[in-house]
Chain A
Amino acid sequence: MNPCVLRDLAAHQLRHACRVLLDAGGRMQIAYAWHPNHKLIEVRYLVSVGAGRPFELWRCPVEADQALPSLAEETPLLGWYEREMADLHGLVFQNHPEPHPLVLHEGARPQRPPLDPAYPADAPLAYVEAPIALPHIRNPDVQLLPFGPVRADVLESAQFLFFYVGESILHYHPRLFFKHRGMEKRCEAKRPEQGVILAERVSGVGSVAHALAYCQALEAAADCVMPQRAAWLRVLLAELERLYNHLHYLGHLCHTTTLKVGEAQGKLLEEKAKQLNARATGSRLLRGLVVPGGLAREPRLDGLADALETLRVEFFAYRQLLEKTDSHRDRLLTTGLLSHTLAFDQGATGPVERASGLDRDLRRDHPYAAYAELPLTVAGATEGDAQARANVRMDEIEASLALLQRVLLMLPDGPLRVPCAPPPGSEGLGWAESPRGSLYYAVHVDADGRLARVKIKSPSFSNWRVFPYTVHDSNMMDYAINEASFGLTVAGCDR
């Protein structure tokens, strides 16, 4: 798979290979399965061996009824990927520490695994009533609070179960995937250029990052080199996306600490950023520009540099005020502590991992678009609390604004788009550092040149797995602040 180093492994070699990788300081990124033909399933592990070195892709064929060893004990972040493959492909992982359904919920009774190519198209899943797998609690003082899936305010649907005594949360269990739309399956049999419309709608506030990762996967499959101007403009779009997302994040964080004027100002700056997006691209969420082979049309850049400079000045004043407000900072400091080890083992990504001392950023470590040609400051912190996560995002806003001005200043002229037709039977991997962290698309093209399998790994799928570890043994008062400090989306995770 372009542009990865391939390695074929048999099932019994996986554990050893995984241990060797971890000892050498590498990290598992994602795992997914696909069906090269009707008889065979192949499980793939994407492996990062270090910054600046190409990703490795491990391929492991699985015969019918063969079980694979679970690697979740060695590298816990794979736990969810294995459960997802169990739900959607019917694979069996031996000795899995959390052998429960994840994506399809308890009670799903599919006639076949939904991602099996033989699953009848458009047949809805059958569901029966079934209890949720929850810890068994004997002490009657411990209460269970189920919250959601329809929550207060305008929020995405998800259910949170709290086991608590008074103010203390003993155990927290998020039940996600109410919004599972089967987006990966919906991509199948589509023409490659149609897939980008779906990719943009996996997570609306990550439209650019999703479109980028998808298009880069196709371009890798087609060995297509994008024109320079398009590469630079893709950086522009990606950083505009980071800007409005992080501004929204700060406003929402103030909402949870009840800093009302701070909330209003954060959301007003977000609105200004979205209005800039609309003037430049025609879409407040920056949709419809990124296409395989480049960009669909030229954005309107007149006045953008001045408007961004005004925004920078306003943001600077906003940040200064936030940093002077003790009542706000008191609620963030030491809230939702995530240790370096936990962040690494459970697979934290983006600003969340960078706030816990992990210095990783796909834009710098595995550059795409024009990032290799731009000076990039990667923000970081080591405290691992809500304040650190907010600080990283505030630093990233400043870095993005500087990067945007640089792109506008140095933007090369030239064409915007080249033909990009991945040949039949080809496959490619694409990635992007979205505002919330690492995003991967693995794309397989069938013999007719249509999409055979699209694997989508969004950053929130990683961070939702990590988040509960910061909630156990915390208290109810801090929950909303902690959740906001992670900046999670549900749509990206659920797909």
Chain B
Amino acid sequence: MPLWTLFGLKQGKASTAWPAEGGDDGQAGVLGMPRLHAERCPPECSDCAAVCPTRAIEALDQCIALDYGRCIHCQLCVEACPAGALESSGDWAYAVTKRDDLKYAPAPAVDETQAQAVRSGIRRVFGRSLHIRHVDAGSCNGCESELQALNNPFYNLHRLGIFFTPSPRFADLLLVTGPVTHAMKAPLLATYEQMPQPRWVMAAGTCAVSGGVAEDGYACGRGLEGVLPVDLWLPGCPPNPAAFIHALLVLLERQPQRVREGRYER
């Protein structure tokens, strides 16, 4: 055992300082959601909508409507676009508190006051800390793989005062992955019922946000909409660990939301 103590000491600090200034988010090279340059869309083109496996893109007359809540960043639309209107990007911080903020419409109804008003109010209750109960409601294990990474020495989630808790009775936030299969619906609702109030719910990953690739069918649901009241939406297939951290900090009002009306602020 002393060997390990010595080894640990020799290794030094492995944790990133991110999101503090100068910290590495660890996502170099990661492809995120495609960027849309709607002005480049050729008239009556629907190539991207035709290849999208999750119906995230809808072809309109002059351009397209894009729902990032359905996007699994598979990059097929980028490859299919003849005009470069869709471009690969490293944009992954897609956590929003309103589902509609993930939808890109050609002419957004900009309402600054409302955008400012959307606040979870969680900070008033919990200060800066948070305890999370995770429920896998039928994921592919991709989201779990990235959630488990949050406690590795690089991301070291505890440094931010955020913890996973075994019991829903100690939890402030229910973090749900997966499209909510029929067999997992009752255990999911039972877990939610066991949580003390006030409580928050996060739809994590595109499956939980909108159903994802396996949506519907005889056994698969279409995410949390209509199942539980969702306070935080994070699409991604899977969201990377930094995206998870950013999302949790958005909920805690410690980081600004980057996406409004389907437009990503850089």
Contacts and interface: CB of A to CB of B under 8 A. Distances in A.
Interface in B173-228: 178-179, 181-184, 187-188, 190-191, 212-214, 216-220
Interface in A214-270: 248, 251, 259-262, 264-265, 267-268, 270
Contacts of A133: none
Contact of B146 (A182, A201, A261, A284): A284
B191 A150 contact: yes
Contacts of B155: 271
Contact of A271 (B74, B149, B188, B220): B149
A325 B164 contact: no
Contact of A204 (B4, B135, B191, B238): B238
A30 interface: no
Interface stretch (A117-125, A384-392, A461-469): A117-125
Interface in B133-166: 134-149, 151-155, 164, 166
A271 B240 contact: no
Given A261-B5, A284-B146, A327-B1, A185 B218 contact: yes
Interface stretch (A47-55, A172-180, A329-337, A361-369): A172-180
A410 interface: no
A150 B187 contact: yes
A301 interface: no
Given A119-B218, A181-B217, A182-B220, A267 B153 contact: yes
A491 B154 contact: no
Contacts of A264: 8, 14, 152-153
A301 B155 CA distance: 25
Nearest to A204: B142
B242 to A, nearest CB: 10
B145 A157 contact: no
A201 B212 contact: yes
A283 interface: yes
A149 interface: yes
A473 B72 CA distance: 45
Interface stretch (A32-40, A274-282, A443-451): A274-282
A154 B219 contact: no
A325 B11 contact: no
B29 A182 contact: no
Interface residues of A, number: 71
Given A284-B240, A325-B4, A157 B164 contact: no
A125 B182 CA distance: 8
A201 B4 contact: no
A358 interface: no
Contacts of B4: 259-262, 321, 325
Range, interface on chain B? 35 or more
Given A265-B7, A275-B26, A182 B140 contact: no
Nearest to A491: B141
A271 B190 CA distance: 34
A321 to B, nearest CB: 6
Contacts of B151: 267
A188 to B, nearest CB: 10
A114 interface: yes
A178 B184 contact: yes
A327 B1 CA distance: 8
Contacts of A262: 4
A296 interface: yes
B234 to A, nearest CB: 15
A370 interface: no
A21 interface: no
B137 A157 contact: yes
A127 interface: yes
A244 to B, nearest CB: 9
A270 B26 contact: no
B29 A278 contact: yes
A197 B213 contact: yes
B79 interface: yes
B164 A278 contact: no
Contact of A127 (B182, B184, B190, B238): B182
Contacts of B75: 282, 288, 296
Interface in B62-77: 72, 74-76
A344 to B, nearest CB: 28
Contacts of B240: 278, 284
A125 B141 contact: no
A488 to B, nearest CB: 10
Interface string B34-71: 00000000000000000001000000000000000000
Contact of A181 (B5, B191, B220): B220
Contacts of B74: 197, 287-288
Contact of A491 (B31, B135, B140, B216): B140
A76 interface: no
Given A181-B219, A259-B4, A153 B166 contact: yes
A294 B61 CA distance: 35
A285 B142 CA distance: 8
A411 interface: no
Contact of A152 (B138, B147, B166): B166
Interface string A347-378: 00000000000000000000000000000000
A156 interface: yes
Given A125-B182, A152-B166, A154-B148, A186 B217 contact: yes
Contacts of A186: 213-214, 217, 220
Contacts of A127: 182
B182 A156 contact: no
A204 B153 CA distance: 22
Contacts of B20: none
A451 to B, nearest CB: 13
A485 interface: no
A280 B12 CA distance: 27
Given A181-B214, A288-B75, A490-B136, 16 more contacts: A122-B217, A123-B218, A124-B219, A150-B135, A156-B139, A178-B138, A180-B181, A181-B179, A186-B213, A201-B140, A204-B140, A267-B151, A282-B75, A296-B79, A321-B3, A492-B141
10 contacts: A114-B219, A124-B182, A125-B219, A178-B181, A197-B74, A197-B213, A204-B143, A204-B145, A271-B149, A288-B31
Interface of A: 105, 110, 114, 119, 122-125, 127, 149-150, 152-157, 177-183, 185-186, 194, 197-198, 201-205, 207, 248, 251, 259-262, 264-265, 267-268, 270-271, 274-275, 278-285, 287-288, 296, 300, 317, 321, 324-325, 327, 489-492, 494
Closest 5 CB pairs of A and B: A204-B142, A152-B166, A282-B31, A267-B152, A279-B29
Interface of B: 1, 3-5, 7-8, 11, 14, 26-31, 53, 72, 74-76, 79, 88, 134-149, 151-155, 164, 166-168, 178-179, 181-184, 187-188, 190-191, 212-214, 216-220, 237-238, 240
